Amino acid sequence: MPISLGELAERFGCELIGDPDVIIDHVGSLSNAGPGALSFLSSSKFKKQLSSTKAAAVILRAADAKDATTAVLIDDNPYACYARMAAIICPAPTMTPGVHPSAVVSATANVADTAHIAANAVVEDNATIGENSYIGPGAVVGPNCVIGNNCRLNANVTFVRDVTIGDRCIFHSGSVVGADGFGNAMTEEGWVKVPQLGGVRVGDDVEIGSNTTIDCGAIDDTVIENGVRLDNLIQIGHNVHVGEHTAMATACAIAGSARIGKRCMFAGMVGMAGHIEVCDDVVVNGKGMISKSITEPGAYASNFPIEPVRDWNRRVAQFRRLDKLMDRVSALENKAK
Amino acid sequence: MPISLGELAERFGCELIGDPDVIIDHVGSLSNAGPGALSFLSSSKFKKQLSSTKAAAVILRAADAKDATTAVLIDDNPYACYARMAAIICPAPTMTPGVHPSAVVSATANVADTAHIAANAVVEDNATIGENSYIGPGAVVGPNCVIGNNCRLNANVTFVRDVTIGDRCIFHSGSVVGADGFGNAMTEEGWVKVPQLGGVRVGDDVEIGSNTTIDCGAIDDTVIENGVRLDNLIQIGHNVHVGEHTAMATACAIAGSARIGKRCMFAGMVGMAGHIEVCDDVVVNGKGMISKSITEPGAYASNFPIEPVRDWNRRVAQFRRLDKLMDRVSALENKAK
Amino acid sequence: MPISLGELAERFGCELIGDPDVIIDHVGSLSNAGPGALSFLSSSKFKKQLSSTKAAAVILRAADAKDATTAVLIDDNPYACYARMAAIICPAPTMTPGVHPSAVVSATANVADTAHIAANAVVEDNATIGENSYIGPGAVVGPNCVIGNNCRLNANVTFVRDVTIGDRCIFHSGSVVGADGFGNAMTEEGWVKVPQLGGVRVGDDVEIGSNTTIDCGAIDDTVIENGVRLDNLIQIGHNVHVGEHTAMATACAIAGSARIGKRCMFAGMVGMAGHIEVCDDVVVNGKGMISKSITEPGAYASNFPIEPVRDWNRRVAQFRRLDKLMDRVSALENKAK
């Protein structure tokens, strides 16, 4: 939706340096933007691109304004300001309410008139779909699920059963919510399946990535609080509890009954053992292994960056001779006494 | 299904301490159970919850009985006993046989009268669906697949082609079985695809997690033996062989032609290289890297737990100076001679 | 398709030692092949199987021919030669053009007459499906997607929107392409979603594994160049650029705006941080962590192989005492001065 720089500045409370009548009709990265595009500078690292960008205007911090060669919108948090403006300039496609003739909706389901059930989607018994919510092509909403208002379940999402989500949630394609947790009891005849009887409860404003899996609880529910963001291909085990505004990047795996606090940030490929806790405001670097509870906020790590194979193999060999090295040092100490 | 404590004790051969006429109608965790609920204590770690639980009865080991304040059912394996009793108290929903009108079943497929093919499922040419088996909404059973009796393929499961499974198997939503393995031959013009021509053979009583992938064999079949349990988001490469009752937690990745013995247990995020073997009864801790064959049963590990970033970075720097440290120790040794 | 050894040798320019009239009608592994089967020896490691194989003929390098007891086809690259011959001997099943009555195709979509749209597939507005391309059961091709000629999107694949792919591409079941990238701006009220407005551009001859996810770009497009091969359960973040003929094994995770060169090979479970670059011809071993740009071709690693838990735990404890060890060595050095 085209909008003038002046109106953007006024709506979002930014200072504008430049012509308020210039019309913005799309967004662009600093390097590829053209006339009519709004761009942003969120990190001074990319400041040198300010001199060459062809964007119509750039959102940036006051300290970076002097380096700009374009109109600027000044904001303390340029990335968030960009996010909000982009949502106005490039609104999501409008959705036509109604149930596609090829969709299958149970007679006992309760679908709001303003909801959209897309082609070949399935809504099973006693499921509820809220106002303005979208169930994409091939998506399945299982028995007793409750979808709030203004939610999106994109194509081929599966809610297995007994999943309750709040308002304004987004689930990306291929995500699976409410499948059985991994509960098995060993016996002399092999594994016995432990019935997985709990559900999944998800708050408001949650976004879940493609092919991410969130298992139902074994007895009580698995819980995802308000504002949580999970990237693609993440595993959330049964009875995990994820606190408000916690975000995880791709391929994290959280084992059953783990409890994660609020505002945590896990980089990609972090693993967390079951039945332990991470307190609020914990950051874990990529590939970190959380094997004990963390009680102090802060940043944690356990990953080794790659090195050329020859160097790496030498280091591993040295690592394996550490006990001998310690013995040699002890021997030297004894001699030196 | 409501059942009396006395009947539970008799059916499962437990000793009951308490009133046999008390009716159990659901299950509960020790901390959240209420009247009418059956709970269990599988680890003495949680024994202190025995004094406060409001459960009607608790399954536990004889040694823990004296600490109970409720009726108790005594069993040597409380978790397995709970699993079996919970399956009676909370039975799976009954399934209506038949093919949903929106499902598409090939004229050459062979579907048992007692099977259920759900809405928008697809059963392709020459596929066989056994007695009492359930094919969920949006699931696809590809050409020449054979599904045994009493199996469940949940919503949006995909069996690509030539997958044969035994009886009482469960495949969770989004799992993909029988897709092409990763076979590529390098040439001067780039990669040439190696046709993937084998199938997948799965035994009885196997359970496969959500979004887990099991590739077809390149020439011979990929094999999953009886009683195997795979959690979510696991990769099983072409021609892998997984032995009976082996269990893997989430996000393990097993490369092609790897062979894994019986009763192995891999924690989450374990990786295994191709064309190697792991013998029976091997346990691998979370994030372990199996790069050579293992011939001795036992527990293995290669993961570093997280530490505060400052500590961790110092250690990595020291690790990289290990060769210098070794040189310094050698110099001291020469001097001390 | 049955074919004589003589014809195979002629078509692919191999030297044949053996009877040219022998008919080959299937392929087999050295250990399991029977009469009529073509097999191959790509690594001398398996040379001892040459003496016992029952294959009709084996493709191998000239140097290995003297050990063969069967007819042989001699080629410098036996694996690639096998791949090409197997594609002739075991051709993919032929595909009937047409749209299945249960598929839902938008009136504004453009589907080639020679394409096949399978049962319960969905093709949305303004999508284009090229000649001889196959859209499998339950697959969804979202708005504005463009599928080239001779492509396969297998069952339950999802192209969310604005995905453009070239010719001869294969996407395996459960893969999700074009879903929103993980873009979130932190504010005092929690995360604000950053609209993900770019698309995905994929070249020719690309193959993408089951349940792999490739996100759309944030502003500009995510790009996968010609001939790229991605295994199962891989994550490609928004605005990643993967160069020609690069291959990644299962469960790699590439963070946003990473740039990977041509002909790279990543083993399984490699992680790569965002906004960095890997040059052409880089090999990364399994579980490697790429946290800085790589500018030199070569092989890199950062994984520790598993050891028995007792040994491993001792090493980790020693690792954590490295600073003390360094202090002790320094003290000895001072004393020895």
Instruction: Encode pLDDT of A101-129 as tens digits.
Output: 999 999 999 999 999 999 999 999 999 99
pLDDT at B94 over 90: no
Report the distance separating Cα B322 and Cα A325, nearest Å.
10
Interface of C with A in 193-252 (CB under 8 A): 193-195, 197, 211, 213, 215, 218-220, 233, 235, 237, 251
- The answer to whether residues B75 and A192 touch, using CB atoms and an 8 Å cutoff, is no
Amino acid C248: pLDDT: 98
Give the mean model confidence (pLDDT) for residues B262-287. 98
A-C C-beta contacts closer than 8 Å? 216
Work out the mean pLDDT of chain A and round it to a whole number. Answer: 96
Residue B190 with chain C: CB contacts under 8 Å: 205, 226-227, 244-245
Residue C131 DSSP one-character state: T
**Residue A187 phi, psi (nearest 5):** -135, 175
Q: What burial letters (b/e) apply to A301-325, b meaning 16+ CB within 10 Å?
A: bbbbebbebeebeebbebbeebeeb
Report the distance separating Cα C176 and Cα C210, nearest Å.
9
Please indicate if any CB of chain B lies within 8 Å of the CB of C283.
no
The minimal CB distance from C232 to the residues B213, B285, B296 is found for: B213
Report the distance separating Cα A159 and Cα A224, nearest Å.
15
Question: What is the amino acid identity at position C216?
Answer: C
Interface of A with C in 33-72 (CB under 8 A): none
Question: What is the amino acid identity at position B34?
Answer: G
Residue C294 DSSP one-character state: B
Residue A251 with chain B: CB contacts under 8 Å: 251
Q: Which member of C238, C241, C245, C275 is catalytic? A: C238
In a mutagenesis test of the A interface, which of C214, C219, C310 is the best target, namely the one with the most A β-carbons within 10 Å?
C219
Q: Which member of B116, B238, B241, B245 is catalytic? A: B238
Amino acid C46: pLDDT: 86
Q: Do B250 and A183 touch (CB under 8 A)?
A: no
The minimal CB distance from B318 to the residues C207, C229, C323 is found for: C323
Neighbours of chain A (3+ CB pairs under 8 A): B, C
pLDDT at A19 over 90: yes
C231-277 pLDDT, tens digit per residue, is 999 999 999 999 999 999 999 999 999 999 999 999 999 999 999 99
Instruction: Identify the closest residue of chain B to C87 by CA–CA distance.
Output: B195
CA C23 to chain centroid, in Å, comes to 33
Question: What is the amino acid identity at position A258?
Answer: A
Report the distance separating Cα A296 and Cα B52, nearest Å.
30
What is the enclosing helix (H) or strand (E) of B141? strand B140-141
What is the enclosing helix (H) or strand (E) of A80? helix A78-89
Question: What is the amino acid identity at position A312?
Answer: W
The minimal CB distance from A155 to the residues C142, C182, C296 is found for: C142
CA distances to A308, B194, C45 from A236, rounded to whole Å, are 34, 35, 41
Residues making up chain C, counted from first to last: 337
**Residue C294 phi, psi (nearest 5):** -115, 125
- The answer to whether residues A303 and A287 touch, using CB atoms and an 8 Å cutoff, is yes
- The answer to whether residues A219 and B29 touch, using CB atoms and an 8 Å cutoff, is yes
Please indicate if any CB of chain B lies within 8 Å of the CB of A317.
no
Please indicate if any CB of chain C lies within 8 Å of the CB of A185.
no
Percent of chain A whose pLDDT exceeds 90: 96
Neighbours of chain C (3+ CB pairs under 8 A): A, B
B-C C-beta contacts closer than 8 Å? 217
Instruction: Provide the annotated active-site residues of A.
Output: 238
The minimal CB distance from C28 to the residues B219, B292, B300 is found for: B219
Alpha-carbon gap: C124 to the closest alpha carbon of chain B (Å): 17
* Nearest by Cα to C208 from C179, C243, C241, C236: C236
Helix (H, G, I), strand (E, B) or coil at B185: strand
Q: What burial letters (b/e) apply to C148-163, b meaning 16+ CB within 10 Å?
A: bbbbbbbbbbbbbbbb
Helix (H, G, I), strand (E, B) or coil at B112: coil
A44-102 pLDDT, tens digit per residue, is 888 999 999 999 999 999 999 999 999 999 999 999 999 999 999 999 888 899 999 99
Helix (H, G, I), strand (E, B) or coil at A304: coil
CB atoms within 10 A of CB B158: 33
Residue B96 with chain A: CB contacts under 8 Å: none
Instruction: Identify the closest residue of chain C to A88 by CA–CA distance.
Output: C195
Give the mean model confidence (pLDDT) for residues A204-232. 98
Alpha-carbon gap: A240 to the closest alpha carbon of chain B (Å): 14
Q: Could you give the domains of chain B?
A: 3-89 (3.40.1390.10), 98-300 (2.160.10.10), 308-337 (no CATH)
Helix (H, G, I), strand (E, B) or coil at A116: strand
Instruction: Identify the closest residue of chain A to B331 by CA–CA distance.
Output: A332
The angle at the Cα of A118, spanning A114 to A120, to the nearest 5 degrees, equals 145
- The answer to whether residues A233 and A210 touch, using CB atoms and an 8 Å cutoff, is yes
Give the mean model confidence (pLDDT) for residues B53-77. 96
Amino acid B148: pLDDT: 98
Q: What is the DSSP string of B259-307?
A: EE-TT-EE-TT-EE-TT-EE-SSEEE-TT-EE-S-B-S-EEEE--PPPE
Q: Do B138 and C136 touch (CB under 8 A)?
A: no
- The answer to whether residues C219 and A212 touch, using CB atoms and an 8 Å cutoff, is no
Give the mean model confidence (pLDDT) for residues B239-244. 98
- The answer to whether residues C206 and C169 touch, using CB atoms and an 8 Å cutoff, is yes
Amino acid B257: pLDDT: 97
Q: Do B306 and A301 touch (CB under 8 A)?
A: yes
Q: Do B118 and A120 touch (CB under 8 A)?
A: no
> pLDDT: is C337 or B30 the higher one?
B30
Amino acid B93: pLDDT: 85
Instruction: Identify the closest residue of chain A to C101 by CA–CA distance.
Output: A102
What is the enclosing helix (H) or strand (E) of B139? none
CB atoms within 10 A of CB C94: 5
A-B C-beta contacts closer than 8 Å? 217
Q: Do B120 and A120 touch (CB under 8 A)?
A: yes
Please indicate if any CB of chain B lies within 8 Å of the CB of C120.
yes
Please indicate if any CB of chain B lies within 8 Å of the CB of A136.
no
Q: Residues B61, B66, B67, B69: is their CA dihedral positive or negative?
A: positive
CB atoms within 10 A of CB B7: 16
Report the distance separating Cα C6 and Cα C25, nearest Å.
13
* Helix, strand, coil abundance in chain C, percent, nearest 5: 20, 30, 50
pLDDT at B203 over 90: yes
Amino acid C252: pLDDT: 98
Q: Residues C239, C241, C246, C252: is their CA dihedral positive or negative?
A: negative
The radius of gyration of chain B's CA atoms, rounded to the nearest angstrom, is 26
Residue B172 with chain A: CB contacts under 8 Å: 160, 176, 179-180
Tens of pLDDT, residue by residue, chain C (337 residues): 899 999 999 999 999 999 999 999 999 999 999 999 999 999 888 899 999 999 999 999 999 999 999 999 999 999 999 999 999 999 988 889 999 999 999 999 999 999 999 999 999 999 999 999 999 999 999 999 999 999 999 999 999 999 999 999 999 999 999 999 999 999 999 999 999 999 999 999 999 999 999 999 999 999 999 999 999 999 999 999 999 999 999 999 999 999 999 999 999 999 999 999 999 999 999 999 999 999 999 999 999 999 999 999 999 999 999 999 999 999 999 988 7
Q: Which residues pair with B141 in a beta bridge?
A: B123, B159
- The answer to whether residues B185 and B206 touch, using CB atoms and an 8 Å cutoff, is no
The minimal CB distance from C302 to the residues A304, A320, A332 is found for: A304
Q: Do A138 and B120 touch (CB under 8 A)?
A: yes
Q: Residues C95, C100, C106, C108: is their CA dihedral positive or negative?
A: positive
Residue A9: band (very low, low, confident or very high) from pLDDT cuts 50, 70, 90: very high
CA distances to A18, A239, A256, B134, C243 from A259, rounded to whole Å, are 49, 9, 9, 34, 40
C277-330 pLDDT, tens digit per residue, is 999 999 999 999 999 999 999 999 999 999 999 999 999 999 999 999 999 999
Alpha-carbon gap: C87 to the closest alpha carbon of chain A (Å): 31
In a mutagenesis test of the C interface, which of A173, A263, A284, A325 is the best target, namely the one with the most C β-carbons within 10 Å?
A173
Q: Do A158 and B170 touch (CB under 8 A)?
A: no
Alpha-carbon gap: A175 to the closest alpha carbon of chain B (Å): 8
The angle at the Cα of C320, spanning C314 to C325, to the nearest 5 degrees, equals 100
B134-176 pLDDT, tens digit per residue, is 999 999 999 999 999 999 999 999 999 999 999 999 999 999 9
Give the mean model confidence (pLDDT) for residues A40-47. 89
Alpha-carbon gap: B132 to the closest alpha carbon of chain A (Å): 19
Tokens of residue A223, six digits: 């819980």
Report the distance separating Cα A7 and Cα A21, nearest Å.
9
Q: Do A192 and B155 touch (CB under 8 A)?
A: no
- Residue B287: which region, alpha, beta or left (left: phi > 0; alpha: psi -120 to 50)? left
Residue B125: band (very low, low, confident or very high) from pLDDT cuts 50, 70, 90: very high
Give the mean model confidence (pLDDT) for residues B63-91. 96
Alpha-carbon gap: B210 to the closest alpha carbon of chain A (Å): 7
Please indicate if any CB of chain B lies within 8 Å of the CB of A278.
no
Amino acid A336: pLDDT: 83
Residue B226 with chain A: CB contacts under 8 Å: 190
Say how many CA atoms lie within 13 Å of A100 toward its Cβ: 25
pLDDT at A11 over 90: yes
The minimal CB distance from B79 to the residues A185, A237, A285 is found for: A185
